[in-house]
Structure formats: C-alpha cells, structure tokens
Structure 1
Amino acid sequence: MADGTRRPLIAGNWKMHGLKVPAARTLGEIIEGYDPALRAGVDLLVCPPAPLLHMFSVVAVGSRVAIGAQDCHAEPLGAFTGEVSAEMIADAGATMVIVGHSERRAYCGESDGVVRGKALAARRARLTPIICVGETRQERDAGQALEVVGTQLFASVPDGPCDFVVAYEPVWAIGTGLTPTAQDVADMHAFMRDGLCKRFGAAADGVRLLYGGSVKPANAGELLAIADVDGALVGGASLVAADFLAIAGAAVS
C-alpha cells in the first residue's frame, strides 16, 4: 500500500496483443471507466505494442490515462533495424516506458547493464522508466530471491535522480496464475525500499514500487494492501477494460 505520499500507479502491459480497431475500443472503455473517483486516487497507464503508440496517445488526449511503451533502444538513433528509440517513443506521445521486463531479459538476453542503458535513454528522452526485476522459481526455491533481485536492482537502476518506477515481477508468477504469498511480496518490497534508501537517501521514499505477476481483480485488493506496494504492473487482465478498471478500483478502496 502506498504510504500517502506515493500515488498508486496501475500499469497495463499489453505485450504483443492488439489490432487497431478492437484495441481502440478497449482503450475507449478504459478512458470512459476512469471516472472522477478513480482519477482522484490512482494513476492509469496503458502500454500497447509500438505500432499503436501514436494512435493511443491521440485517443487518450485529455483523459489523464497515460500511454507508455514496452521497450526502447539505448541509442537515440542509428543503424539499428527494427529498434525504437526513447526519443521516438516520446515523439509518439508516450510518457513512460517499461525496461528490463523478464521476457526481454530471457528471450532477448538483456543484461542488467543493457537495462540500465535503456533506463538512461528514457531519462534522456524525458520518459519515466519502469525498471523490472524478479527471480525465477529455481532461484526462489534455492533461497536466492533477495540476492538475485538485489543484484538486478543495484545494476539496472542508474545513478542520479529518483525519476523511475520499479516493478517487482517474480518470473514464475508471470502469466501462470501463481502469486507469491502476501508475506513474500511484503518482504521483497521492504527489501527493495531499504536498498533504494541506502543508495539514494530520503529521495527513494518517493519511488513507486509496483508488483506484477498474475495480478487479477480477485487478488488485487490483497496485493495492493501490502506495505510498500504502490501499484501493479498488469499483464493479461489489462486487455479487458472491466478487469483493468477493477484492479485500479482496488488501489483506492
């Protein structure tokens, strides 16, 4: 639970889902459902696939639903076929970008150093990076969860201002329907907060720590009530407007 100084953030990661017409319809339903009661207590962010970024940014103008990207390249321009720079993302109207998602780390071999470079690129383009960290099932079973996440956090978060969000996503919980216990989440978020405060001082109190990994309307209330959980990074449930809005509602109830 956010401590009152950190406004909750519910971020939807649409991954590789969404064609123009049905995606715009879903975004419209989210915008319509983001009523004054929700706007007063929680921030909403939708991160569609890159081809939809500009259209989503246009549709969302004036709605206070923020639009973000799912990844960026570390360089501002160059001969990087198929890549998208942070500057291009900002130019398309986005305000935030996810970096270091476990699927990028696993499928694309992104190291902590690569993730840090992307976070710096986001800062350069005046985007807010959502820096993802998380352990595998094997690492948790071996008692290494804190060590793994601590290493990722230290190496992926750049020095300088606390202008970032951190998302803890245990790899084994993403898309599986499994979630850690409330105590496991509380312990990890307290560990991350302590580590950030030791590194950045009092400024780290303002960093929002999100939980991600099979977040649904049914478990959102319990997860969002945990100390130092300042919101959620939502996968599949963010593709259904009613579910996404229900999770947002749990953040303010």
Structure 2
Amino acid sequence: MTPGIRPLVAGNWKMNGTSASLNELRMIGNGFMSGLDAETEALVCVPATLLAHAAEILSRTPVHAGGEDCHTKESGAYTGCISAEMLRDAGASHVIVGHSECREQRGEDDATVQAKASAAWRAGLVAIICIGETQQQREAGATLDVLSRQVDGSVPPSATPSNTIIAYEPVWAIGTGLTPTAADVAEAHAHIREKLSEKLGSVAAKV
C-alpha cells in the first residue's frame, strides 16, 4: 500500500446482471457501513442498463457507482455506444477505460484509451486507466517495456490524483487460475510509479 493514498477496491460486473441483481448492491453498500469506508474507498462498475438504479441504491452508502467504458465523443451517430456525459447523468462517479478485454476484443490502442480518459474528465468522471501485460509479453520478458509504453500512451499528460486512477491488471492472470506473486506486483507497481513520475512530475506520487 502506498503511504498517503487511500486504497480503492473496485468491482467490475462486465456483461453480467439484470435488475434482479440489484439486491447484491444493497448488501455490498450495507456491508461498507461498518466503518471500513474511513480507510478504503469502494466502487462497483455495472452495465449501463443498471447504472441509474445502482447509483440510486448506493447513494445511501459510502460505495460509488461507475461505468465500465465510454466513448471518446460527447454525442453523435455512434449506435450502441455511451458517452461519459451519459454515464455522469446516470449517476456514475468513475469509469473504466482501457480494460484488457476492450484492448484485445475491440482493438483499442493506447491513443484511444487516452482519448477516453480525457472524455471522462470532460464529463467530471474519474478515469480508471487499465494497463497490463499479456502472457506472451510476460514470457518474452517484455513486461516493463509494455507498461512503459502503456503509461506513455494511455495516460494523458494532465492526469492528477483527483481525476485519474491507474489499475495494473496482468492480463495473463485474468480468468486463467494463475496468480502474480507479491514480488511480481511490487516490481510492476514500482516501474509504473517511476514512469508516472517521469511523465507527470511531482503529482505522480499521489496518482
């Protein structure tokens, strides 16, 4: 844990859940009423169809509601997409951008992720920028190079602790049963912080 930074525990429902699932959010929110909220920030990112309901339910708890992705544009002829402004209007406080599934399945590159982060800020949302290496990249010994490239390309130069969270997600450990060691995570985090410091200067210490 980095001193001076309040930890964020965030859940991502992905393409799961209907209105029948909302009672789970009530239980999550009520569980955070015990005092943990003073030490830890909590967030649940839900499908857009549930966001307004989720935000209303969680408004009476310390837990935030967030979006799972957003478009770079505020509005326009982008059928099936959702803007950061729409997420904000529905009650979101945060939005995930650059998730590994979006990078892999939709071909999102670092420039697109950076544009989405800027769109989140435009709407008053905190951007959760996901970065991480694949199994192939890890086996090739390219983890730190990949993280350097993603920090450089995905994080806007005006990122601050109030508008940006960097989420390290080693892609090779998602849904595979493989678990990174504490040393793996510590090395990645230290490298990410080093690159953020080079890019953002003194504010990087709190991002």
Equivalent position of 2:37 in the other structure: 39
Equivalent position of 1:63 in the other structure: 61
- Helix, strand or coil at the partner of 2:35: helix
Q: Point out where structure 1 has 5 or more consecutive residues left out of the alignment.
A: 208-253
Does residue 53 of the first structure (1) align with residue 56 of the second (2)? Answer: no
- Helix, strand or coil at the partner of 2:104: helix
Counterpart CA distance in 2 for 1:161 and 1:112 is 15
Alignment of 1:123-162 (within 5 A): 123-162=121-160
Alignment of 1:158-197 (within 5 A): 158-162=156-160, 163-197=163-197
Runs of 4+ in 1 over 6 A off after TM superposition: none
Out of 186-195 and 152-161, give the one that drifted further.
Answer: 152-161
- Helix, strand or coil at the partner of 1:176: coil
Equivalent position of 1:90 in the other structure: 88
* C-alpha deviation, 1:127, in angstroms: 0.3
Counterpart CA distance in 1 for 2:158 and 2:148 is 18
Q: Give the alignment's TM-score, normalised by structure 1.
A: 0.79
Q: Give the alignment's TM-score, normalised by structure 2.
A: 0.97
Counterpart CA distance in 1 for 2:5 and 2:175 is 27
* C-alpha deviation, 1:178, in angstroms: 1.2
| Contact kept in structure 1, 2:129 and 2:164, CA below 8 Å | yes
The one-letter code of the counterpart of 2:164 is: F
Deviations 1:155-181 (A, max 9, x none): 000011412001111111012221111
The one-letter code of the counterpart of 2:92 is: A
Alignment of 1:192-207 (within 5 A): 192-207=192-207
Deviations 1:90-132 (A, max 9, x none): 0000000000000000000101011011000001001000000
Counterpart CA distance in 1 for 2:71 and 2:155 is 16
Equivalent position of 1:216 in the other structure: none
- Helix, strand or coil at the partner of 1:46: strand
- Helix, strand or coil at the partner of 1:12: strand
Q: Report percent identity of matched pairs.
A: 49
| Contact kept in structure 1, 2:134 and 2:170, CA below 8 Å | yes
* C-alpha deviation, 1:37, in angstroms: 2.3
* C-alpha deviation, 1:201, in angstroms: 1.4
Counterpart CA distance in 1 for 2:58 and 2:33 is 14
| Cα RMSD for the two superposed structures | 0.9
Counterpart CA distance in 2 for 1:76 and 1:194 is 33
